[in-house]
Amino acid sequence: MDTFAQLLAGLSIAVSPHNLLFALAGVLLGTAVGVLPGIGPALTVALLLPVTYKLDPAGSLIMFAGIYYGGMYGGSTTAILINTPGESASMATALEGNKMAKAGRGGPALATSAIGSFVAGTIATLGLTFLAPTLVEIAVQFGPEDYFALMCVAFVTVSATFGDSPVRGLTSLFIGLALGLVGIDKLTGQARLGFGMPELLDGVEITTLAVGLFAVGEALYVASRRHHAPEQVEPVRGSLWMSLDDWRRSWKPWLRGTFLGFPIGALPAGGAEIPTFLSYAIERRLSKHPEEFGKGAIEGVAGPEAANNASAAGTLVPLLTLGLPTSATAAMMLAGFQQYGLNPGPLLFADHPQLVWGLIASLYIANVMLLVLNLPLVGVWVRLLAIPQPWLYAGILVFATMGTIAAKPSVMELAMLTVFGLMGYLMRRFDYPIAPVVVGIILGPVAEAQLRRALSISLGDPMVLVESPISATLLGIAALALIAPFVLKGLDRFRAQED
């Protein structure tokens, strides 16, 4: 119970009125920057880091935590309201969340996302408190072959985003994979599909692609169909608040999302995208209302949002116990530590316990603050949708271009945004699903790099992929998930014949 006492001590530091104010200011600032499309929590923290420079360590870290959570929640808000994910991890949220918003259920979507984040944050904080040392031992045992197997599991679940035609879904996925090839090959440093343009060497920015396909593509599509099928947006239909049924349908996805997000986030190369998509796919399979998916199913918001938040807490496991910054945000947190001459790592818990527990506690406080601040604001947010359509979409495009140029100051990036916007329009018009493109560009390069690392270490022997128990298990799960639907379908037919 020693750790628990330390957490409580940390909490008592964090809830001093002084520090609560820092948390509040952080959440406000973080949300303000985080709503810009293309600017995720990492960049938000990077941009606002100077704000925290002159505070004392505890106050600064707490503000930091607030900025971080604010940035994350800002991304989800725009994903839901204007179909513009602020970062790749809130992509899955946009899929169902925006459909809900358009059907007048933006209130419940924002609420389930905020409460789900809170639930996930609470459980993940407990996980961080009690499991971090054990979890990290397992996490470093993950080799390249195991990551490759994890990617295979993720790939199998992509089909959940395919829509009704496997050919068109796969086409979208392969376009994403092809875009993922662009740029310097991580393992040999050579440019692929660079066509001699230095701007392409860093590859296609995932957020530019997502904002282009989702926001710009949608603006073009809606504008072009104004005369044929004018879009009806009702800001609020029914209750602004979650109904009993919404709660009933949300709580299990929150928990499942948390249990996917936290451990995968704790893996040094796990990330937040994979658990969000896994969560989306699982909720779609398990839902009692599968017909609602693609039209605004609350499970599809609740699960991924919880997974996103839990994975963020998960990345703190390797950061605090090993000093490994495994995500861009964690790297920024590390910078935050270092400005006080602290080096996260195995000795941090021993050398500076009050600071570590203070940080964990302040992350939790920031999470609470976010809930307190945002739930009353849900009503204000959804009223944004009542802005007349010409101005609403004009505003969305202004924000999309502003976020893109602020994240990467280059005209080339805006040109790519335009091209991806046109691509998004054409894909909508000819009925190709959008999400698999983004899934392809996220998973493809990681899967390739890990497979090649594994084979390079094994000197080309493919047996390495099944010799590791972790990867063998994961590949088994992937195979099962691939075959199971067919088997189940066969069983159904069999049963139908029996009847």
Partner 1 sequence: MNPKATKPDTAGIAIAAGLAVIAAVIWWDAGQLAQGSPYGLGPDAAPRVIAVGLAVLALANFAIAWRGRLPHREAGDLGAIVWIIGGLVALIAIIGLGGGFIPATAILFAATARAFGRRALPADLAIGFVIGVGAYLLFAKLLTLSLPMGPLERLI
Partner 2 sequence: MSRIASRIFSETPVSRRLFTALGLALLAAPAGLSPAAAQMSDLKIMAPAAPGGGWDQTARSMQQAIVAANLARSVQVTNVGGAGGTIGIAQLVNGAKGDGNQLMVMGYVMVGAILTNKAPVTLEQVTPIARLTEETEAIAVPANSPLKTVQELADAIKANPAKVTWAGGSAGGVDHIAAALFAKAAGADPAKINYIPFAGGGEALAAVLGGKVTAGISGYGEFDSQVKAGKLRILAVTAKTRVPGVDAPTLTEAGLPLSITNWRGVVAPPGITAEQRAALTGLVEKMAQSPAWQDILKQKGWDGALMTGPAFDAFLKEENVRTTDILKSVGLVKP
Q: Which does 343 bind (CB under 5 to 8 A by kind): partner 2, partner 1, none?
A: partner 2
Using CB under 8 A, which residues numbered 458 to 477 contact partner 2? Answer: 459
> CB under 8 A: which stretch of 255-263, 346-354, 375-383, 424-432 binds partner 2?
346-354
Q: Of residues 219, 267, 371, 438, which one binds partner 1 by CB under 8 A?
A: 219
Site string for partner 1, 226-245 (x = CB under 8 A): xxxx----------------
281: Cβ contacts below 8 Å, ≥ 6 apart: 157, 158, 159, 160, 161
Using CB under 8 A, which residues numbered 417 to 446 contact partner 1? Answer: 417-418, 421-422, 425, 429-431, 444
CB 10 within 8 A of CB 49: no
Nearest CB to partner 1, comparing residues 142 and 148: 148
Nearest CB to partner 1, comparing residues 167 and 496: 167
CB 78 within 8 A of CB 37: yes
Q: Of residues 17, 189, 196, 341, which one binds partner 1 by CB under 8 A?
A: 189
What are the tokens at 434?
Answer: 């959008």
> CB under 8 A: which stretch of 114-122, 191-199, 206-214, 222-230 binds partner 2?
191-199
> Taking CB under 8 A as the rule, does residue 197 contact partner 1?
no
Q: Which does 496 bind (CB under 5 to 8 A by kind): partner 1, partner 2, none?
A: none
Q: Which does 384 bind (CB under 5 to 8 A by kind): partner 1, partner 2, none?
A: none
> Taking CB under 8 A as the rule, does residue 143 contact partner 2?
yes
Burial (CB count <10 Å: 0-12, 13-18, 19+), residue 460: exposed
> CB under 8 A: which stretch of 109-117, 170-178, 179-187, 367-375 binds partner 2?
179-187
- Residues belonging to the chain: 499
Task: Give the separation between CA 301 and CA 295, rounded to whole angstroms.
Answer: 12
204 backbone dihedrals φ, ψ, rounded to 5°: -85, 125
Is residue 200 classed as helix, strand or coil in its secondary structure? Answer: helix
Q: Of residues 5, 197, 201, 223, which one binds partner 1 by CB under 8 A?
A: 223
Nearest CB to partner 1, comparing residues 177 and 206: 177
Min. distance of Cβ 357 from partner 2 in angstroms?
18
Minimal CA–CA distance to 60: which of 14, 123, 99? 14
Q: Of residues 2, 54, 164, 288, which one binds partner 2 by CB under 8 A?
A: 54
Task: Give the separation between CA 206 and CA 195, rounded to whole angstroms.
Answer: 19
> Taking CB under 8 A as the rule, does residue 218 contact partner 1?
no
Q: Of residues 7, 13, 14, 25, which one binds partner 2 by CB under 8 A?
A: 25
> Taking CB under 8 A as the rule, does residue 66 contact partner 2?
no
Q: What CA–CA distances, in Å, run from 351 to 12, 14, 155, 347, 363?
A: 20, 19, 42, 6, 20
Nearest CB to partner 1, comparing residues 225 and 289: 225
> Taking CB under 8 A as the rule, does residue 384 contact partner 1?
no
> CB under 8 A: which stretch of 94-102, 122-130, 229-237, 456-464 binds partner 2?
456-464
Long-range contacts of 411-418 (CB under 8 A, 24+ apart): 412/197, 412/199, 413/199, 413/205, 413/208, 416/204, 416/205, 416/208, 416/209, 416/212, 417/208, 417/211, 417/212, 417/216, 418/212, 418/216
> CB under 8 A: which stretch of 164-172, 276-284, 304-312, 333-341 binds partner 2?
333-341
How many Cβ atoms sit within 10 Å of the Cβ of residue 145? 27
> Taking CB under 8 A as the rule, does residue 144 contact partner 2?
yes
How many Cβ atoms sit within 10 Å of the Cβ of residue 217? 23
Helices and strands in the chain, H and E counts: 22, 2
Nearest CB to partner 2, comparing residues 186 and 429: 186
Instruction: Compute the C-alpha angle 363/404/398, nearest 5°.
Output: 105
> Taking CB under 8 A as the rule, does residue 1 contact partner 1?
no
CB 119 within 8 A of CB 253: no
Residue with tokens 């959008």: 434
> Taking CB under 8 A as the rule, does residue 390 contact partner 1?
yes
Q: Which does 394 bind (CB under 5 to 8 A by kind): partner 2, partner 1, none?
A: partner 1
Q: What is the total count of residues that contact partner 2 (CB under 8 A)?
A: 61
Min. distance of Cβ 67 from partner 2 in angstroms?
12
> CB under 8 A: which stretch of 181-189, 260-268, 356-364, 369-377 binds partner 1?
181-189
CB 307 within 8 A of CB 260: yes
Residue with tokens 């513009």: 84
> Taking CB under 8 A as the rule, does residue 181 contact partner 1?
yes
Q: Which does 297 bind (CB under 5 to 8 A by kind): partner 2, partner 1, none?
A: none
Task: Give the separation between CA 16 and CA 203, rounded to whole angstroms.
Answer: 45
> Taking CB under 8 A as the rule, does residue 353 contact partner 2?
no
Q: Which does 286 bind (CB under 5 to 8 A by kind): partner 2, partner 1, none?
A: none
CB 260 within 8 A of CB 89: no
